[in-house]
Amino acid sequence: MSAESAAVEEQLADGDDLLKCFSPLLRSMRVFGLYFTRASRRIFDKAGSGTAHSEIRSKWNGGRIYAIVTLTVAWLNMLRMLTVFEKTDKFGFVLLLKLSAVIGALFSSLLHTACFVACQTGNLDEVFREARLTKSDIARYRRLAVIHTIVCWFFLVLDVCVYLLPELLIENTMDAFATPFGVHIIHSGHVLLKAKILVSPLIVLANFTWFSTYSVNYMVTSVLYDQFHALNQDFCHALGRSGEFHGNIREFRRRHQKITQQVQNADQFMMISNVAGFCCQIFNLIITFYCAIFFRNETLGYNAFSAVMYVYWLASVLFVLTLTACQGVVINHEVISCTLHLYLCRITSVCKLFY
């Protein structure tokens, strides 16, 4: 190993350090059952010296049980939202609003499922542990994790103030929020208020699932992007001005394969959230624009509060779509760039054998 590569290795931080950086966000997710770790126990070899041991993953622990309960509650909430439809429903603003509420519940359930898959398979922790980043990047991610945690809780409080509290205080003629009570059973009174209070934690769970899931996806995407970007930079430095390669091609291929494996691990849970974010939010975007154009009196022109809520809804849908698209484009761009560099280097080395 050269002196330069040894200096780089000294600057690399331990993978557990990166995982600890995200502890504020992961602990917040643990409160809502969105994150857990599968406990492991060590088995020692009694026949030998007693020092050899192996780790096995236990199937059940408190965090996993709590995550299964919250995941079940999320899907039961999605089934509850299906009861919002009535036989007397006709095509119009009310029906489109109900359809959007069902899509939102489905979106939240799929995001919750993606979080459970990420923790159950251990791929989320594995991506962070296997990352090779410098200590300066670790410090940057520590600050970024704190910022994302504050932003997630801020938007959760904002959603409670802008959306949840008005639903609890304002009595509507059709309360899809508290279905099936507000639609099929009772339309007013203290019983309806109690039903709204009962389902309020479900709304809070759904909202925090949205914010935290995309924050984690952003972190994972950034970690993978930084590793691919560092690999591309190291490759360009090893490639001389005259086109001669001065590095170790096997080492670059090993790093490339390792990062590619991390991408495959991340794709197992990010694929669920990205597909859900794209499909569900496309439907919501169509519904939002259709209502703004053809039902202007019920949306933007109803009153100032309704206009603010509608603009906030539209902005959140556009933001989710943009973030989902950018995550895929950024990683794809770096993967293609790094792969092309390696292939060009291999072609150059093969050509030198013949010429």
Gap between the Cα atoms of 16 and 321, Å rounded: 32
Query: Given this model, what pLDDT does residue 332 score?
Result: 61
Tell the residue number behind the tokens 């010296």, with chain if given: 49
171 compared with 151, residue with greater pLDDT: 151
Lowest model confidence (mean pLDDT) among 17-26, 287-296, 316-325, 327-336 = 327-336
Angle at 334 between CA 328 and CA 336, to 5 degrees: 95
Query: Given this model, what pLDDT does residue 150 score?
Result: 95
* Mean pLDDT computed over 266-291: 88
Gap between the Cα atoms of 300 and 83, Å rounded: 27
pLDDT in tens, 207-221: 999 999 989 998 998
In whole numbers, what is the pLDDT of the chain averaged over residues? 78
* Mean pLDDT computed over 321-329: 75
* Mean pLDDT computed over 285-313: 81
Is the CB of residue 165 less than 8 Å from the CB of residue 224? no
* Mean pLDDT computed over 263-272: 87
pLDDT in tens, 31-57: 999 999 876 554 444 444 444 444 555
Distances (CA, A) of 111 to 77, 115, 150, 216: 14, 6, 20, 11
Closest listed residue to residue 123, CA positions, set 273, 263, 276, 272: 263
Tokens linked to 293: 């154009």
Choose the most confident range, by mean pLDDT, from 131-140, 178-187, 338-347. 131-140
pLDDT in tens, 155-200: 899 888 877 887 777 665 456 777 777 666 666 667 777 878 888 8
355 compared with 130, residue with greater pLDDT: 130
pLDDT in tens, 57-70: 556 788 899 999 99
* Mean pLDDT computed over 80-102: 86
Query: Given this model, what pLDDT does residue 54 score?
Result: 47
Three-state SS at 167 = helix
* Mean pLDDT computed over 322-338: 65
Tell the residue number behind the tokens 């779509």, with chain if given: 321
Q: Give the confidence band of 28 by pLDDT, cuts at 50, 70, 90.
A: very high
